Amino acid sequence: MESFVHKLKNLDAYPKINEDFYSRTFSGGIITLVSSLAMLLLFFSEFRLYLHTVNETKLLVDTSRGETLRLFFILKMQFDVTFPAIPCSFLSLDAVDISGEQHLDIRHDIFKKRIDASGNEIEVRKDVIGAPKIEKPLQRHGGRLEHNEKYCGSCYGAEKSDDDCCNTCEDVHEAYRRKGWALTNVDLIDQCKREGFIEKIKSEEGEGCHIYGSLEVNKVAGNFHISPGKSFHQSNINIHDLLASPIDKYNISHKINKLTFGDYFPGLVNPLDGVQWTHERPYGMYQYFIKVVPTIYTNTRGYTIQSNQYSVTEHLRGSELIHSDSLAGVFFFYDFSPIKVTYKEEHISFLHFLTNICAVIGGVFAVAGIVDSFIYHGQKRLKKQM
Q: Is residue 262 part of a domain?
A: yes
pTM of the model: 0.66
- Residues 94 and 106 reside in one and the same domain: yes
- Residues 175 and 200 reside in one and the same domain: no
Q: Is residue 1 part of a domain?
A: no
- Residues 126 and 157 reside in one and the same domain: no
Round to whole Å and give the CA distance between 307 and 322: 35
3-state secondary structure of 65: coil
- Residues 276 and 325 reside in one and the same domain: yes
Domain termination site, one of 140, 162, 195: 195
Q: Is residue 18 part of a domain?
A: no
Q: β-strands 329-336, 284-298: how paired?
A: parallel
Are 82 and 76 in contact by the 8 Å Cβ rule? The answer is yes
Q: What is the pLDDT of residue 206?
A: 75
Q: What is the pLDDT of residue 381?
A: 86
- Give alpha helix (H) positions in the chain: 2-10, 26-51, 169-179, 190-195, 197-203, 350-385
- Residues 236 and 370 reside in one and the same domain: no
CB atoms within 10 A of CB 218: 15
Q: What is the pLDDT of residue 150?
A: 67
Instruction: State the chain's maximal CA–CA distance in angstroms.
Output: 135
- pLDDT tens for the chain, residues 1 to 386: 778 777 777 766 666 666 666 677 777 888 888 888 999 999 998 888 888 777 788 888 887 665 555 555 544 333 345 788 788 878 888 888 888 788 777 777 788 888 877 777 876 554 444 444 445 544 454 444 444 456 677 888 778 777 788 888 878 877 877 776 766 677 778 877 777 777 777 777 778 888 888 888 888 888 888 888 765 544 444 445 544 344 456 788 888 888 888 888 888 888 988 888 766 666 778 899 999 998 999 988 888 998 889 999 998 876 555 554 457 788 999 998 989 999 988 878 888 888 989 998 889 988 888 888 888 888 888 888 88
Domain termination site, one of 195, 224, 246: 195
Are 183 and 189 in contact by the 8 Å Cβ rule? The answer is yes
Q: What is the pLDDT of residue 329?
A: 84
3-state secondary structure of 333: strand
Are 263 and 295 in contact by the 8 Å Cβ rule? The answer is no
Q: What is the pLDDT of residue 1?
A: 73
Which residues form the domain of 227?
63-130+196-337
- Residues 231 and 304 reside in one and the same domain: yes
Q: What is the pLDDT of residue 313?
A: 92
- Residues 290 and 367 reside in one and the same domain: no
- Residues 172 and 236 reside in one and the same domain: no
Please provide residue 156's backbone torsions phi and psi, each rounded to the nearest 5 degrees.
Answer: 55, 50
**Closest to 192 (Cα-Cα) out of 172, 164, 165, 163:** 172
Q: Is residue 58 part of a domain?
A: no
CB atoms within 10 A of CB 185: 10
- Residues 200 and 187 reside in one and the same domain: no
| Domain count across the chain | 3
- Residues 40 and 67 reside in one and the same domain: no
- Residues 242 and 356 reside in one and the same domain: no
Q: Is residue 73 part of a domain?
A: yes
- Residues 201 and 299 reside in one and the same domain: yes
Give the DSSP H/E element, type plus range, for residue 222. Answer: strand 222-228
Q: What is the pLDDT of residue 291?
A: 94
